[in-house]
């Protein structure tokens, strides 16, 4: 009898670190572990029954133990099955206790039940999840016939009720996928429950068990094996039976599985998830088609074929090849099929895709004008492009068109603003760009740039924009585009981050900011419109963290200033994206209204709050003084507001400042409260900042969940050449309540004036840009820069 204390150690020994090193395949590791599980449970059965044979009673397993693919720390899902005749209820209960308690004593998680065959049937009829699980029930010990009877009964009912259960199954899948997301697009994938995860493989088997569709094999089984290997490794490195591959476990899991780079592991996990998800989606469609054929057929049923052109038809919600169409005769057929499918928002039948991939010849290089036109039509198809592109990619057609696609396929993105892998982000960018084509003169070039803008995100690339430009140039030449178009798309790829960086991290009123934007587009208005549209599409596709109201407003503001230089006759004083108050406009022109001067002389600051979408602009005018920036930043932080941008001006001793803020609480900033707070701070009363101290204390509380790894040391960098009128500093550090206030105080104590500040925060990390001068309004000298940089770093570090 196996010692209870040795069970956990034995499971980890069979499928743990040593097994990964010694056993050649995950399949063999899991086979050994499955043999041990059944042997130990068999020993428990023999001990519980005292070696007696009991007809009509058996111990059965469902879930991963029943399938034989349990992980090192997977729980046991066991059923004590009986006919209800051989033993009394009390005897069955006592037998169950003699089995369950040793399992609990061994520290193994257990999901258990005691049921008759008829009860299994009833539970399966009432509970969809239980029904799917019982399809995998297998004997462990005892009378195997009772287990066979339960499985046969449940399987029979499953097939008989397929018409009712299929909609329930698809609805339940949709809910689960919505809750857990898409495995292929997650940096911390849920290996079991997500779309493309392990549970979806049981759904494939359940659909096959219902005789509605064949279960896919080959690549799907390989993908399933990889996910099982990763799950096993997660169990080993975490010491817990969990199914999520967390960020903190990437390195250890990758090393255990033999990957030199964790991103290579994540790419293969993403590929596996995509393979399973694609197979599942297609199998569910097959099942629906099979069910409709059963229900609607009255005599021989002919498929309903709606013509789509080029010998392609819609049939049962898919695009298929007509009977007389021969793929060998037309190398353009994959493009034609993709266009009509994407425009109709329909998937291409897997059989048709396989025929297109195996029987159509490659396109000649360079592509013909007709091929280029079809490709542009495909990119312009809108949302239908996503599913069609995925099908083409699964069959290898995309890599035949664009060999460079292989390097970004399923590549993870660790940037906090991104929600998709590199390749999926490129397609999402194309889809969003289709909504902006009327803003540009060359829609085809916009869509091509959207498709290629991150093509340089390959392993080892330091600057993906610079790395991607020559790759995009190669692609454009292969597609046969003229040199002028090649130059435009290459430039767009190289500069696709320029406008958003200038908009969010530079002072729009500084001439050098506008010069940088003009340089990026060669002073060309058409190219600027293309780059602006690409910038928006890229940000929207990245996710809500990359495209917020304040970022959109800043980009629009920058665009207004650039267009004013490109065509001064169209310039208006105020940007429609950010309404300008009279005080701010006058200050920008070097004039302060006389009535405001008198009010400020009496110690009455001016505060005005302007709503703009989901953000606010707060105009503040006060007598200029040391620490005004720090006090204002501290007051806004105390009120729970998040500063996004601050533009500071001083005219004749009067500071007129614009603060663009967001309110996470959803409450509009109180103008009168801010007014009173500034007035008190001007007199030296620090009371209004008391709430900031409480926010700091709350933020300093230790988290309930430990975090692994540190964000690194804070950095303060000088940006050379960014301005002729100020020294530009970029500050990168871990964010905390009141950090901007602390930085303002540090600048004030160093004798430095802040002319403007541009604030950004992603995933708890700040990326702030400050335009600073000495008190005479000149850029800082080298010695002063070194002093300020040191003070800023100490402030971010919390050492001052």
- Give tens-digit pLDDT for 688-700: 988 887 777 765 5
The number of residues in the chain equals 800
DSSP state, 572? -
Mean pLDDT lowest among 157-161, 299-303, 439-443 = 299-303
Using pLDDT thresholds of 50, 70 and 90, give the confidence band for residue 461.
Answer: confident
Closest CA to 465 of 476, 480, 479, 449: 449
Is 282's pLDDT higher than 80? Answer: yes
Q: Are 228 and 248 in contact (CB under 8 A)?
A: no
Using pLDDT thresholds of 50, 70 and 90, give the confidence band for residue 425.
Answer: very high
User: Per DSSP, what are the bridge partners of residue 773?
Assistant: 753
Closest CA to 546 of 451, 641, 442, 428: 428
Which residue is it, tokens 């500050």? Answer: 731
Which regions of 410-526 does DSSP assign to beta strands (E)? none
Using pLDDT thresholds of 50, 70 and 90, give the confidence band for residue 736.
Answer: confident
Q: What is the pLDDT of residue 585?
A: 55
Q: What is the pLDDT of residue 80?
A: 96
* Percentage, residues of the chain above pLDDT 70: 89
- Tell me: the pLDDT tens digits for 506-518? 988 889 999 999 9
- Residue 638's contacts (CB-CB under 8 Å, 6 or more residues apart) are 677, 688, 689, 690, 691, 692, 695, 738
Residue 775 has which token pair? Answer: 């008190």
Is 623's pLDDT higher than 90? Answer: no
Which residue is it, tokens 């975090």? Answer: 707
pLDDT, mean over the chain = 87
Q: Cis omega before residue 87 (within 30°)?
A: no
Between 783 and 775, the higher pLDDT residue: 783
Mean predicted confidence (pLDDT) in 157-178: 93
Distance CA 488, CA 498 (A): 15
| 406 φψ region: left (φ > 0), alpha (ψ -120 to 50), beta (else) | alpha
Is 768's pLDDT higher than 70? Answer: yes
- Residue 198's contacts (CB-CB under 8 Å, 6 or more residues apart) are 191, 192, 224, 227, 228, 231, 243
Mean predicted confidence (pLDDT) in 270-280: 96
- Tell me: the pLDDT tens digits for 365-385? 999 999 999 999 999 999 999
| 142 φψ region: left (φ > 0), alpha (ψ -120 to 50), beta (else) | left
* Percentage, residues of the chain above pLDDT 90: 62
Is 704's pLDDT higher than 60? Answer: no
Is 671's pLDDT higher than 70? Answer: yes
Is 569's pLDDT higher than 80? Answer: no
Q: What is the pLDDT of residue 707?
A: 37
Is 708's pLDDT higher than 70? Answer: no
pTM: 0.81
Distance CA 272, CA 37 (A): 27
Q: Are 704 and 600 in contact (CB under 8 A)?
A: no
3-state SS, residue 283: helix
Q: What is the pLDDT of residue 7?
A: 72
3-state SS, residue 762: strand
Q: What is the pLDDT of residue 706?
A: 37
Using pLDDT thresholds of 50, 70 and 90, give the confidence band for residue 577.
Answer: very low
H or E element at residue 643: strand 642-651
Q: Are 505 and 758 in contact (CB under 8 A)?
A: yes
Mean predicted confidence (pLDDT) in 441-447: 93
- Tell me: the pLDDT tens digits for 21-76? 655 578 888 888 899 999 999 999 999 998 788 999 999 999 999 999 999 889 99
């Amino acid at each position: 009898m196996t010692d209870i204390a040795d069970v956990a150690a034995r499971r980890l020994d069979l499928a743990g670190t040593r097994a990964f090193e010694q056993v050649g395949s995950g399949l063999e590791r899991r086979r050994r572990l499955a043999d041990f599980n059944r042997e130990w449970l068999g020993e428990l059965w023999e001990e519980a029954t005292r070696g007696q044979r009991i007809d009509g009673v058996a111990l059965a397993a469902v879930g991963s133990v029943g399938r034989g693919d349990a992980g090192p720390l997977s729980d046991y899902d066991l059923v004590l099955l009986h006919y209800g005749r051989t033993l009394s209820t009390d005897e069955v209960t006592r037998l169950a206790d003699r089995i369950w308690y040793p399992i609990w004593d061994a520290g193994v998680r257990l999901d258990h039940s005691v049921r008759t065959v008829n009860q299994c049937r009833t539970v399966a009829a009432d509970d969809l999840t239980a029904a799917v699980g019982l399809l995998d029930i297998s004997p462990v010990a005892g009378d195997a016939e009772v287990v066979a009877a339960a499985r046969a009964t449940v399987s029979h009912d499953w097939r008989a009720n397929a018409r009712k259960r299929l909609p329930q199954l698809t609805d339940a899948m949709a809910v689960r996928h919505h809750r857990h997301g898409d495995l292929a697009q997650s940096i911390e994938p849920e290996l079991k429950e997500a779309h493309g995860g392990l549970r979806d493989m049981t759904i494939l088997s359940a659909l096959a068990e219902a005789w509605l569709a064949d279960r896919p094999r080959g690549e799907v089984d390989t993908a399933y094996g990889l996910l099982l290997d990763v799950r096993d490794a997660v169990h080993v490195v975490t010491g817990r039976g969990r199914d999520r591959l967390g960020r903190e476990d990437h390195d250890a899991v990758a090393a255990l599985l033999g990957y030199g780079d964790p991103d290579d592991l994540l790419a293969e996990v993403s590929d596996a998830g995509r393979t399973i998800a694609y197979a599942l989606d297609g199998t569910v469609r097959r099942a629906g088609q099979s069910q409709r054929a059963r229900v609607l057929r009255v005599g021989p049923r002919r498929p309903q074929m709606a013509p789509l052109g080029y010998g392609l038809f819609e049939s049962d919600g898919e695009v298929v090849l007509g009977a007389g169409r021969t793929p060998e005769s037309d190398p353009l057929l994959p493009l034609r099929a993709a266009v009509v499918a994407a425009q109709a928002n329909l998937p291409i039948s897997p059989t048709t895709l396989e025929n297109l991939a195996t029987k159509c010849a490659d396109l000649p290089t360079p592509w013909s004008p007709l091929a280029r036109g079809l490709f542009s039509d495909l990119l312009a198809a809108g949302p239908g492009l996503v599913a069609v592109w995925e099908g083409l990619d699964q069959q290898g057609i995309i890599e035949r068109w664009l060999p460079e696609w292989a390097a970004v396929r399923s590549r993870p993105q660790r940037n906090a603003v991104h929600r998709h892998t590199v390749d999926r982000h490129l397609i999402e960018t194309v889809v969003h760009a289709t909504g902006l084509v009327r803003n540009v003169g060359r829609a085809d070039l916009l869509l091509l740039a959207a498709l290629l803008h991150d093509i340089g995100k390959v392993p080892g690339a330091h600057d993906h924009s610079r790395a991607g430009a020559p790759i995009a140039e190669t692609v454009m030449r292969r597609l046969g585009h003229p040199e002028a178009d090649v130059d435009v798309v290459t430039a767009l790829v190289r500069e696709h981050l320029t406008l958003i960086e200038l908009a969010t991290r530079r002072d729009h009123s500084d001439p050098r900011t506008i010069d940088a934007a003009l340089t990026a587009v060669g002073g060309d208005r058409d190219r600027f419109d293309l780059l602006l549209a690409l910038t928006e599409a890229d940000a929207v596709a990245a996710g809500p963290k990359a495209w917020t109201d304040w970022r959109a407003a800043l980009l629009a503001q920058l665009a207004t200033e650039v267009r004013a230089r490109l065509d001064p006759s169209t310039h208006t004083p105020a940007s429609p994206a950010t309404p300008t108050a009279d005080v701010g406009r006058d200050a920008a022109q070097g004039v302060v209204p006389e009535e405001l001067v008198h009010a400020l002389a009496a110690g009455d600051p001016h505060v005005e709050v302007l709503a703009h979408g989901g953000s606010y602009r707060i105009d503040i005018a006060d007598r200029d003084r040391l620490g005004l920036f720090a006090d204002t930043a501290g007051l806004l932080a105390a009120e729970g507001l998040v500063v996004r941008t601050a533009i500071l001006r001083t005219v004749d001793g009067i500071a007129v400042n614009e603060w663009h803020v967001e309110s996470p609480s959803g409450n509009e900033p109180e103008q009168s409260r801010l007014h009173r707070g500034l007035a008190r701070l001007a007199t030296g009363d620090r009371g209004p900042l008391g709430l900031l101290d409480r926010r700091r204390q709350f933020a300093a509380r230790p988290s309930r969940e430990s975090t692994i790894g540190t964000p690194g040391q804070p950095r303060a960098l000088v940006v050379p050449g960014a301005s002729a009128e100020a020294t530009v500093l970029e500050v990168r550090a871990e964010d905390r309540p009141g950090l901007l206030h602390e930085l303002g105080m540090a600048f004030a104590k160093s004798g430095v004036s802040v002319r403007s500040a541009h604030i950004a925060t992603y995933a708890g990390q700040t990326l702030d840009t400050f335009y600073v001068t000495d008190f005479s309004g000149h850029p800082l000298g080298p010695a002063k820069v070194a002093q300020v940089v040191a003070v800023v770093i100490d402030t971010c570090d919390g050492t001052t």
